Amino acid sequence: MRSRSVGTGYVIVPGEGSGPGILVLHAWWGLTPFFKGLCDRLADHGFVALAPDLYGGRTTRDPEVAKAMLANADMNATLDLVRSSLLTLRGMPATPDAPVGVLGFSMGASWALWLAGRMPEMVDATAVFYGSQSIDMAPARSAFLGHFAETDPWVADDELTLLESELHILDKDVTFHRYPGTGHWFFESDQPAYDEPAAELAWDRTLEFFRTHLTSRFSAPGSPQPPGRWQP
């Protein structure tokens, strides 16, 4: 019997052949070259990066098209893909037998926070850009890093304040940054809202966050795997 494929994605391993794993969850634009390039950048810094294609190959730069793609997405199928991608990353020969990190953007940020709350034993570090989540985060064991815009019609101030307060009340390791003069998608270099100084600062903070919470847990496992398309 042929195995059932949940979906596809992009995976890359650092030159060393192994490293801590980071699951990259793209924004509503789809798995665009920007997000694949982001995986490459993570690999340059010693991480194994896997980005599932949550839209099955569809991409766009038009916000209205992206909005429609999100509205028409099968949330159950997306949930299955997000969950199976985390399991796949953790089980790869190139990653340690330990919890991994999750990095999410906008729509992907919501999924990243969902994973931290719903699969807590597998997520050690969660970094999000301009996205939130309203589920109970009490089970989470992850450390949290958040990057948020000063002006953002997609993330309500009250919603963000509630999330940050809840994480602090639950005594989680949490740091949220707000970047003056920025808007939603300020990190993404292929978007009009891109803000280079803010993006570079956020990138440096993200790398340091993952090094702190993942690298100390890493022990080099098996053999290297080449970059490219992934299918569970």
User: So what's the pLDDT on residue 7?
Assistant: 79
Residue 3 lies in a domain: no
Q: Is 191 helix (H, G, I), strand (E, B) or coil?
A: coil
User: So what's the pLDDT on residue 52?
Assistant: 98
Residue 2 lies in a domain: no
User: So what's the pLDDT on residue 6?
Assistant: 65
User: So what's the pLDDT on residue 96?
Assistant: 75
User: So what's the pLDDT on residue 26?
Assistant: 98
Half-sphere exposure at residue 121, Cβ-oriented, CA atoms within 13 angstroms: 2
Residue 229 lies in a domain: no
Residue 1 lies in a domain: no
**Domains contained in the chain, number:** 1
CATH for 153:
3.40.50.1820
Residue 103 lies in a domain: yes
Residue 4 lies in a domain: no
Q: What CA–CA distance (Å, rounded) separates 17 from 49?
A: 12
The whole-number mean pLDDT for each consecutive block of 10 residues of the chain, a chain of 232 residues, reads 65 94 98 98 97 96 95 94 96 84 98 98 97 96 98 93 96 98 97 98 98 76 46 46
Q: What CA–CA distance (Å, rounded) separates 209 from 169?
A: 21
User: So what's the pLDDT on residue 215?
Assistant: 84
User: So what's the pLDDT on residue 97?
Assistant: 72
- 19: containing domain: 9-216
Residue 61 lies in a domain: yes
> Which CA distances in Å does 165 have to 157, 159, 170, 180, 227?
12, 10, 9, 21, 39
Query: Radius of gyration of the chain from Cα atoms?
Result: 16
Residue 226 lies in a domain: no
User: So what's the pLDDT on residue 229?
Assistant: 46
